[in-house]
Chains A and B, each alone.
Chain A
Amino acid sequence: MTPEMLIAAAICLPVIIAAGIAAAGKFPNLREGVTLIGAFALFAVVVQLTLLVAGGARPELYIGEAIPGLAFAFKLEPLGALFAVVASGLWIVNSFYSIGYMRGNRERNQTRFYICFALALCGAMGVAMSGNLFTLFVFYEVLTLSTYPLVAHKGDAAAQRGARIYLLTLLGTSIGLLLTAIMWTWMLAGQNLDFVDGGLLANANLSPLVSSALLLLFVFGVGKAALMPFHFWLPNAMVAPTPVSALLHAVAVVKAGVFAVMKISVYIFGDELLHATPSREFLIGAACFTIVLASLIAMTKDNLKARLAYSTIAQLAYVTLGAMLADHAGVVGGSLQIAAHAVGKMTLFMCAGAIYVATGLTNISDMKGLGRKMPLVFIAFFIASLSIIGIPPLAGDWPKYELMQGAIDDQHDWVVIILILSSLINIAYLLPIPILGLMPPPGTKPLKEFKRPGGAPALTVAAPLFTAALCFVLFFMIDPVSDFLEPAFATIEYFHGVDLP
């Protein structure tokens, strides 16, 4: 297949899968078969594309333009390829997990669930492969709209309320701020929205005031990046079934957000312009503030999914932080975080889901001693927690290392302290869960028997174990990954404004 066809396939496959799921809706086994085959096929396509990118090619697909300068076009570069691989690869794992979870929980409207899931993947692929801001915006909204029914899945009052907040926050920030920023960019860059190496606006001679305002509009406009104060949709989205929280609200949706921030930082502003933009300092501060505050809030949450949600907010801010540091180590760290956090956080969510299916428990305080009954789940949880905290030899270690390096290179030494502090808080709110689960304090009443006969379905246990193992693999695979990313950041300086001896 030609590169054009591969890109077209990556965008269209999820839609075709959705249609197939709709057609096979009456036969659950066939329907899930369609999902699984589709997920594998999509992954195969994305891997092929990634190999092309690794070979130095930049697959492109140009559809046409609505009006001059407003083109619908795709172009895959290493950063996008990384996001696409993560999203489509984890979709396979998540599909297996979903089958176990949705059947084990006897959820209703499963056909709609799988259809929306496939459409959400279409949105994620489109975001990853978009060749300009307009295309990115379109698929960003596809992602928002297709996940709304998933958040509202339960249909009760709480789910509807959460879903409404979800939709309004994401639409509001994207239409209100992001779209304004895009229009403005379109004007400033002379009716052009393409992602350009070195930055589209690098030669536009923006005044510091204009570039400051534009950067603020962009970064806060990408509501999916969940930078405070636009973070509250994420805890509200936790009313969704756990597979949705696992893939979408730890991987596809939120990563689409931080990925967009990264793209804007690297390809729209470029590192030189960013360093000449005063509001960058403010955004670094905002990211650090989010990291600390969200972590502190996570400590107070007893509901497991809520705690994980706040943890996600904090971890997403790492990527924003890296994008705003805008030196070589910073953007590398931010990009690695997209992959590393995806694997780790997804594991945690899947464990939470497995516990819920088996026991119906949602509160951490009720889970003491539960590890004795479901050891595999708690071991996976333990490993993933270590990865999120950033302990070697697990994937989460690298991004933190690179980010610290980036902060020092950029003469923001205090950021290092924030990062260390964040790791300490991570330990405080994540580790007690598996430790108390596996080694309950004396006097804890162990759970007599599972709510669901037989405990967690096998698929819901195997999936988190698999991703937990991935955390190990990714630690040792980090060299090829950063080599792969290197061309995207080739133009970005290691040091800015520092005269080296």
Chain B
Amino acid sequence: MILETLLVTAPDWAVRHSTVLIPIVPLVVAPVLAMSPSGRLAWLVSIATTAASLYFALLTLAIVQSTTGGVISYHIGNWAPPIGIEFRVDSLNAMILLIVTLMGFLASIFSWPTIVAEISKEKAGLFLCAFLLCFAGLCGVATTGDAFNLFVFLEISSLSTYVLVAMGAGRDRRALPAAFDYLIMGTLGASFYVVGVGFLYAATGTLNMADIAAQLPALGANRSVQVGFAFIIVGLGLKAAMWPLHQWLPNAYAYSPSFVTMFLAATATKVALYALIRWMFTIFQPEFAFEQALFTWVLAPLGMAAMVICSFQAVFQTDIRRMLAYSSVAQVGYMILGISLGTAAGVSAGLLHLFNHALMKGALFMAVAGICLNVQGTTLRDFAGLGRSAPFTMTAFAIAGLSLIGVPLTAGFISKLQLGYALFEQGWWWAVLLVVFSSFLAVFYVGRVLQAVFFQPPANPSKLRKEAPLLLLVPLWTLALANLYFGIDASFPAGLARDGAVAALGLEAFQ
């Protein structure tokens, strides 16, 4: 409904170029921000930029939904693929683009108070420049239809992420080793990816994803294709924090500036996961024998291991941001498990959880950011008694936390139910027990925080934390209410996830 009006009212140039404008606008604005004389001005510009990207992403979604076949193919510089670079958007990446731009927009709104508290007003321009570059890179990964171009965008986002993480050094010096770790691991992942693309290029002579997909079946069980596939999966798996390639994530999340943590948690792993899905389902076909083996014997066990082991680790964290970081790895495990089923129900459950997880982790990290504003420190003890002094912030935290557990009437419940359905459909009832067990662990780690927040007296009453500023509360509550709304009426995200799964698997999987 809203999307349709958007489509009708949009100017002609926007409709024609919306796909490419999503990453280009922030990419062009970013260097300008670096030269901005005032931090506050840079902030306002960054809001406008992400809002523009959000607008174009919504427009793209509207176009995708209204065209038959649901694919937009945009040829950069009018060079026809496979020679030129193609931007290709279907229901799958339209959904991812919506998540990234929406979270980017909300993040940029609340960035100002955290920048003032944790970075400095003078560096705001540079900081936001890095943020927009990262944002543009993520959007680019999700729009491009070219395997090498994807690598370029991946590197744009990664390089700026290293900078963003390292900016946390002002608050906690441990941000520096965390950024360095991430640099090493991220570069490894990107190199693996590009090596894999190289193998495929050697075998097929093309870099266009659709073209690779068209050529692969003829090649059959070509060894270099299989090796290339393996490299790509590991490379992207590293970026997506697939267990056990997640080691960089907890530190990066715990020590970077709180604004960066929130943005990365809600978007970065999602985009890498999208790229994985793209490779596994659109370019390679799940019918390939080696891919079936990968699903059943590698991805599914890794997903389950992440769910259980990282939830366990989350229970024993004292720092809340680390706890949430481990929980993120566990949640990625749910998504991987759903995707690894390779069925219509499984992939749409994975995608739905991806969407919902962006909402809940975004809200959780945003609430933590609000608490960090006043006093440094995010240990469990620092959170004791906050329910009284910062009720609005902590209520939103509680809602998102319940959604993380998967309590009914929250978004998290719907995606877990879908995942359970998909698993039962395959006869994997024991995997359902693991999902349930991991949810129960979530009860522990979320419950621990909630108990401290609402039932314990403050550890240090003289340094009582205040409510977060309005600039933070508005996006925070937007996300918290979205968690509730999409738990009661999930037709929108469930529809997106279903369309995305159709785009990934082809319509016949749903019959």
Contact = CB atoms under 8 A, between A and B. Distances in A.
A joins B in a complex: yes
Interface of A: 64, 66-67, 70, 72, 134, 137-138, 141, 152, 160, 167-168, 171-172, 175-176, 179-180, 183-184, 186-188, 191
A138 B440 contact: no
A108 to B, nearest CB: 14
B440 A183 contact: no
A70 B490 CA distance: 10
Contacts of B408: 134, 137-138, 141
A184 B429 contact: yes
A183 B424 contact: yes
A186 B455 contact: no
Contact of A172 (B406, B414, B443): B443
A66 B440 contact: no
Interface string B420-444: 1100110001001100110110010
Given A141-B407, A172-B443, A186 B490 contact: no
Contact of B491 (A67, A180, A186, A191): A67
A91 B312 CA distance: 41
Interface centre among A160, A167, A180 (most CB of B within 10 A): A180
Contact of A175 (B436, B487, B488, B490): B436
B501 to A, nearest CB: 14
B345 to A, nearest CB: 9
B414 A183 contact: no
Interface string B400-421: 0000011111000010011011
A138 B414 CA distance: 13
Contacts of B439: 175
A176 B437 contact: yes
B424 A184 contact: yes
Given A66-B487, A66-B488, A187 B407 contact: no
B425 A171 contact: no
Contact of B421 (A160, A171, A187): A187
B489 interface: yes
Interface in B364-412: 405-409
Nearest to A135: B408
B494 interface: yes
A152 B456 CA distance: 12
Contact of A183 (B432, B437, B494): B432
Contacts of B436: 175-176, 179-180
A183 B436 CA distance: 11
A64 B421 contact: no
A114 to B, nearest CB: 18
A66 to B, nearest CB: 5
Contacts of B455: 152, 160
Contact of B440 (A141, A175, A186): A175
Contact of A67 (B425, B433, B437, B494): B494
B409 A138 contact: yes
B256 to A, nearest CB: 32
B440 A70 contact: no
A138 B408 CA distance: 6
Interface string B340-383: 00000000000000000000000000000000000000000000
B496 to A, nearest CB: 12
Contacts of A167: 447
A175 B420 contact: no
B351 to A, nearest CB: 13
B432 A176 contact: no
Contacts of A160: 455
Contacts of B447: 167
A183 B420 contact: yes
Given A180-B420, A187-B421, A67 B432 contact: no
Given A137-B408, A152-B455, A183-B424, A64 B489 contact: yes
Contacts of B429: 184
10 shortest interchain CB distances as A-B pairs: A183-B420, A187-B424, A138-B408, A66-B490, A67-B494, A67-B490, A180-B436, A176-B436, A187-B421, A176-B440
12 contacts: A67-B414, A67-B494, A134-B408, A137-B408, A138-B408, A172-B443, A175-B406, A175-B440, A184-B420, A184-B429, A186-B420, A187-B425
A67 B418 contact: yes
B417 A180 contact: no
Interface centre among B408, B409, B425 (most CB of A within 10 A): B408
A179 B425 CA distance: 16
Nearest to B345: A187
Given A64-B489, A176-B437, 12 more contacts: A66-B414, A67-B490, A138-B409, A141-B407, A141-B408, A171-B440, A175-B406, A183-B432, A184-B429, A184-B432, A187-B420, A191-B421
Contacts of A70: 414, 417
A180 B490 CA distance: 20
Contacts of A175: 405-406, 436, 439-440, 443
A168 B424 contact: no
B434 to A, nearest CB: 11
A273 B247 CA distance: 50
A220 B299 CA distance: 32
A383 B414 CA distance: 49
Nearest to B421: A187
Contacts of B418: 67
A167 B450 CA distance: 13
Interface centre among A70, A179, A186 (most CB of B within 10 A): A179
Contacts of A171: 440, 443
Contact of B443 (A152, A168, A180, A191): A168
A137 B409 CA distance: 10
Contacts of A176: 436-437, 440
